[in-house]
Amino acid sequence: MRRTLGILFKVLLVTLVVAWIGLILVEYFRYQDNEPMLVVLKEETIPYPDGHVYVYYGLGYKSITYERTSIYGKEFGHIFIGVRDKIPNS
């Protein structure tokens, strides 16, 4: 009985990890095609004097869209990436 529960737990864990990685890949390809994210846990809008930055949080990842005069673009990455305040190398 105990061995069966251990095997069942491992199979369930592997299934969840594979599904999570699949979700991240789907979200990334949607991001590349400029489509909205499927799973958005939290949305945040950060106002700046020259525009706005939109941050969308997912399950361990986030998408950042810069709509400012000094920075314009988008990023997709892990949950710990920060919002840039200035252009790199400036």
Asked, for residue 10, whether it belongs to a domain, the answer is yes
The dihedral formed by the CA atoms of 37, 39, 44 and 48, expressed in degrees to the nearest 10:
-20
The structural domain count of the chain equals: 1
Report yes or no on 86 lying in a domain.
no
Whether the per-residue pLDDT at 79 is higher than 60: the answer is yes
State mean pLDDT over 14-18. 96
pTM: 0.80
pLDDT for 62: 94
**Which regions of the chain does DSSP assign to beta strands (E)?**
42-48, 51-57, 61-68, 72-78
pLDDT at 43: 95
Which residue range(s) make up the domain with 14? 2-78
pLDDT band per the 50, 70, 90 thresholds, residue 75? very high
pLDDT in tens, 18-66: 999 999 999 999 999 989 899 999 999 999 998 999 999 999 999 999 9
60 in a structural domain: yes
